[in-house]
Amino acid sequence: MRRSNLLVLMSDEHNPKFLHSAGHPFIETPNLDALAARGTRFTSAYTTCPICVPARAGFAIGRYVNEIGYWDNGDPYDGAVPSWHHALRAAGHRVVSIGKLHFRGRPDDDHGFSEEIVPMHVIDGIGDVKGLVRDEIPKRKGGDKMAQRAGPGESPYATYDRDIASRAQIWLHEEAPKWADRPWVLFVSFVLPHFPLTAPPHWFYRYWRQNLPMPKLYAKPSRPRHPYHDQYEYVVDYDTHFASDADVKRAIAGYSGLVSMMDENVGNVLRALRDTGLVNNTRVFYTSDHGDNAGARGLWGKSTLYEESAGVPLIIAGPDIPSGRVIDTPVSHIDCAPTILEACGEPPRVGGRDLPGASLFDVVDGLKPARPVISEYHATASIAGAYMLRFGRFKYCHYVAYRPQLFDLVEDSEELVDLASDPRYAATLAEGERLLRAALDPEATDARAKQRQAELLASFGGREKALARGDLGFTPAPGTAAEMN
């Protein structure tokens, strides 16, 4: 594959089902749909972890969380483990980020970029210390504010994302021509549609005026009763603050409006790519760090292993990439690092080691990779490790503290029926566990995560000080004040 420039577009918390080209009944995403039409869309792509900080570390390094650490939102990437950014910069490429990184961000940290423009890192170089608490987990505070903010308006995140899009357009016009001797990489990372669900009015009311359906399995009698689900619902209790169907509709209109605003910003960046004449020698990646439950099963935010949360949108387009192709083969964010390196003409090696992921270009050509597709969780609201593994048409979920789950994603793409207790699927359930244990030891991994978290918690002064620090509702945009509780 000939080498080319690379524009990597990442959003935050984009439920992969909220994409018109993926069949969503009312969402408007014309720019991402156009990108998919001129490229290839992957229908079964997964984050390494359905929460921001570990997900972004896994994407950068190209390895699963159980291999690299960086377990939760209080253990941010510090550049100590080499990333694809480091590898490309060392090979002489210009590698620039604009926008959210959610790394540690201390002055002496080297995250591998040639330049970081308006980066968002974790607050105070520490992040969400309360998330390190893994036993007797108290409710998160601020759910009432999240509910109240759902609606029309302006948030610092919307302002920040517009600035990110503006700076990306300026970089493509002004800076890209300076680096024409070898491929450059521009990593443009937006925050939307991450909560708060405050959407610009021109987008909010476009959805509010519609007869929006209630989220899937939202009615309380319909919600699945699994202990992991129940624990998350208790700790992250946003839904208890919605008093009526109209409140839920405001949240869905807000989330949808944020998705469309993010798409609008993506369109402005892609227009600059066309206007500068760079489109024919630049490949484009679009993905999100993880998804969002968006009210399904009464859950909001991420942190679960359902497709809405652990799944991510993934589109690639540009030179040598087929147009209008849809790939159902399961893929992972660990596959992005070797693909990015290959796109720039470099071998899939970082820090002197081969990467475990597969080339997405090879997957497009028909490869069925042997490496496992796993998402795992060791963070907020979880008392023990949770793991998801895709194998064939099935999805196996393993919980160290709870009973497993099993879904047939061909017959049941909405995960309405858990097959784990069905004796007809006992062999399939056992095969899922066997494949997971061949890739990692769930109990040992859980123990390593908790040991690291206990050490970090002690270094911050222990449980009581962590709880007293308060809940970090969301990381503030650069230049804005942090908000606790």
Each residue's pLDDT tens digit, 447-461 = 999 999 999 999 999
Note the pLDDT tens digit of each residue in 90-133: 999 999 999 999 999 999 999 999 999 999 999 999 999 999 99
CA-to-CA distance for 30 and 24, rounded, in angstroms? 12
71 closest CA partner among 124, 128, 18: 128
Q: Which helix (H) or strand (E) holds 341?
A: helix 336-343
Residue 216 reports pLDDT greater than 80:
yes
Q: What does the domain layout of the chain look like in residue ranges?
A: 5-469
Please give the average per-residue pLDDT across 380-400, as a whole number: 97
Q: What is the pLDDT of residue 105?
A: 97
Please give the average per-residue pLDDT across 1-14, as a whole number: 96
| Confidence band, pLDDT 50/70/90 cuts, at residue 263 | very high
Look up residue 32 and give its two tokens: 């991402």
Contact indicator for 32, 266 with CB cutoff of 8 Å: yes
Total-model pTM: 0.97
Note the CATH number of domain 5-469. Answer: 3.40.720.10
Q: What is the pLDDT of residue 485?
A: 57
186 closest CA partner among 99, 297, 253: 99
How far is C-alpha 137 from the geometric centre of its chain's CA atoms? 24
Name residue, tokens 């210009």: 94
Output the CA torsion sign for 444, 449, 450, 454: positive
CA-to-CA distance for 342 and 364, rounded, in angstroms? 14
Residue 470 reports pLDDT greater than 80:
no
CA-to-CA distance for 242 and 258, rounded, in angstroms? 19
Residue 484 reports pLDDT greater than 60:
no
- What percent of the chain stands above pLDDT 90? 94
**Strand spans (E) along 297-404:** 311-317, 325-327, 331-332, 349-350, 353-354, 373-377, 386-391, 394-399
Note the pLDDT tens digit of each residue in 66-94: 999 999 999 999 999 999 999 999 999 99
Q: What type of residue is 192?
A: L
Three-class secondary structure of residue 74 per DSSP = coil
Contact indicator for 196, 238 with CB cutoff of 8 Å: no
Q: What is the pLDDT of residue 483?
A: 66
Q: What number of other Cβ atoms are within 10 A of residue 160's Cβ?
A: 22
Q: Which of 27-31, 356-360, 465-469 has the lowest mean pLDDT?
A: 465-469
Q: What is the pLDDT of residue 23?
A: 98
Q: What is the pLDDT of residue 482?
A: 66
Residue 481 reports pLDDT greater than 70:
no
Average pLDDT, the chain: 96
Q: What is the pLDDT of residue 327?
A: 98
Q: What is the pLDDT of residue 146?
A: 85
Residue 472 reports pLDDT greater than 80:
no
Look up residue 84 and give its two tokens: 């694809």
Residue 142 reports pLDDT greater than 90:
no
Q: What number of other Cβ atoms are within 10 A of residue 347's Cβ?
A: 12
Residue 209 reports pLDDT greater than 60:
yes
Contact indicator for 248, 295 with CB cutoff of 8 Å: yes
Note the pLDDT tens digit of each residue in 278-308: 999 999 999 999 999 999 999 999 999 999 9
